[in-house]
């Protein structure tokens, strides 16, 4: 029974990761016999978890059915809390983003804040028009050091608080819920399904990151792994919110860019494209410090560097400029093919916060 269960989980997860897959592809990729594949696929279809979604092209003979996960089997909600905003997302069982919402709400460790947070969540789910009984859980993304098991925000410089317990939020969040560090969440969103080692650098209002090694995230002995925003790259440099000077966060935070355009990051990049002199100057300096940071991470970890977060979502259009600057500091690599840019912008952490509930559902099949 244990082997049967493992095969069922492997098959369902393979279909999830691939998007669509045929029975022959499943058997070949997972090295499972065709009778075993057929039996497990039928059971997954009978349970309403797997469906047939079209057919593959055929050069002759019977066309193979394309199998996929039934998206409406379940849903997960992600909530990303920052100093001034809450971002909410809803994803289905295929990990597809169905709807999102970003609202301004200044964080305060007060009952009124958490009540508003709970009300925003309920209103968001109501407007999404999904069956509440199918909500697997709510993932909460937080900027700071998080103890997931105890549901405690140990320390958050960005929010200016420490030792905040989320353990008794059942009256505000009537669903299973978990908390996680925002950079780890964003990394889950960007790196889920990736087979190679990678370092994730989150370039949002705060700078953070995550280390993905051997198909697992390395969290560190004190949950402080990946705090790349507090590496010092300029001795005696700009003041960082953590109290030190010269931290990466003081040079690579999205705040530095959007502060030029009234807290509007999209407008900043629009002005860069329009060759606005002030914005171009700030952007050139930003890229220079980012190049130093990327090079340091490459020297330390010798693997792919994924640039995500608010700024990471825009970097695809400026990759050539960044690579040119990285080449000035990195004399070990022939090119910068190891640099990758993120898929998401404002919603990365919220989406990543949902992943654990989707994964947990399949782990229990």
Summarised one tens digit per residue, pLDDT across range 289-316 is: 999 999 999 999 999 999 998 899 899 9
CA angle 89, 90, 93 (to 5 degrees): 140
pLDDT at 60: 56
Summarised one tens digit per residue, pLDDT across range 221-249 is: 887 889 999 999 999 999 998 899 999 99
Q: Tell me the C-alpha distance between 221 and 132, whole Å.
A: 37
Higher pLDDT, 273 or 57: 273
Measured from the Cβ of residue 271, the count of other Cβ atoms closer than 10 Å reads 19
pLDDT at 301: 95
DSSP string spanning 112-156? Answer: HHHHHHHHHHHHHHHHHT--GGGEEEEEEEESSEEETTTTEEEEE
pLDDT band at 58 (very low <50, low <70, confident <90, very high): low
Summarised one tens digit per residue, pLDDT across range 246-286 is: 999 999 999 999 999 998 999 999 999 999 999 999 999 99
pLDDT at 215: 79
Percent of the chain whose pLDDT exceeds 70: 97
pLDDT band at 320 (very low <50, low <70, confident <90, very high): very high
Domain 73-187+348-363: CATH superfamily is ATPase, nucleotide binding domain (3.30.420.40)
pTM over 0.85: no
Pick the CATH number of 194-341 from 3.50.50.60, 1.10.10.10, 3.10.20.30, 3.30.420.40: 3.30.420.40
> Where do the structural domains in the chain lie, given as residue ranges?
2-69, 73-187+348-363, 194-341
pLDDT at 190: 87
pLDDT band at 62 (very low <50, low <70, confident <90, very high): low
For residue 325, what is the enclosing H or E element? helix 319-329
CATH, domain range 2-69: 1.10.10.10
φ/ψ of 53, rounded to 5, equals -130, 75
Average pLDDT, the chain: 92
pLDDT at 59: 58
> Hey, do 73-187+348-363 and 194-341 end up sharing a CATH topology, with the first three levels equal?
yes
């Amino acid at each position: 029974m244990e082997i049967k269960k493992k095969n069922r989980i492997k098959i369902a997860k393979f279909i999830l990761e691939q998007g669509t897959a045929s029975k022959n592809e499943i058997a070949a990729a997972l090295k499972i016999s065709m009778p075993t594949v057929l039996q497990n696929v039928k059971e997954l279809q009978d349970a309403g978890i797997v469906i047939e979604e079209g057919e593959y092209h055929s050069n002759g003979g019977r066309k193979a059915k394309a199998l996929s996960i039934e998206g409406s089997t379940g849903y997960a909600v992600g909530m990303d809390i920052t100093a001034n905003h809450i971002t909410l997302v809803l994803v289905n069982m295929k990990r597809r983003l169905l709807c999102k919402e970003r609202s301004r709400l200044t964080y305060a460790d007060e009952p009124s804040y958490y009540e508003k947070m709970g009300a925003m969540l309920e209103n968001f789910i109501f407007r999404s028009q999904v069956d509440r009984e199918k909500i697997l859980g709510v993932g909460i993304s937080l900027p700071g050091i998080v103890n997931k098991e105890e549901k405690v925000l140990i320390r958050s410089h960005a929010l200016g608080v420490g030792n905040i317990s989320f353990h008794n939020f059942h009256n505000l969040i009537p669903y299973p819920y978990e908390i996680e560090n925002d950079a780890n969440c964003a990394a889950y969103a960007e790196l889920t399904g990736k087979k190679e080692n990678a370092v994730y650098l989150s370039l949002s209002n705060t700078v953070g990151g995550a280390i993905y090694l051997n198909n697992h995230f390395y969290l560190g002995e004190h949950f402080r792994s990946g705090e790349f925003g507090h590496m010092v790259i300029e001795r005696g440099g700009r003041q960082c919110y953590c109290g030190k000077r010269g931290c990466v966060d003081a040079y690579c935070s999205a705040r530095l860019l959007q502060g030029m355009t009234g807290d509007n990051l999209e407008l900043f990049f629009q002005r860069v494209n329009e060759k606005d002199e002030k914005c171009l100057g700030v952007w050139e300096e930003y890229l220079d410090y980012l190049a130093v940071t990327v090079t340091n991470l490459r020297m330390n970890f010798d693997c792919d560097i994924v640039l995500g977060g608010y700024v990471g979502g825009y970097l695809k259009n400026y990759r050539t400029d960044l690579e040119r600057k990285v080449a000035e500091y990195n004399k070990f690599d022939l090119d910068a093919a190891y640099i990758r840019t993120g898929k998401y912008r404002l919603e990365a952490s919220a989406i990543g916060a949902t992943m654990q509930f989707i994964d947990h559902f399949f782990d229990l099949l």
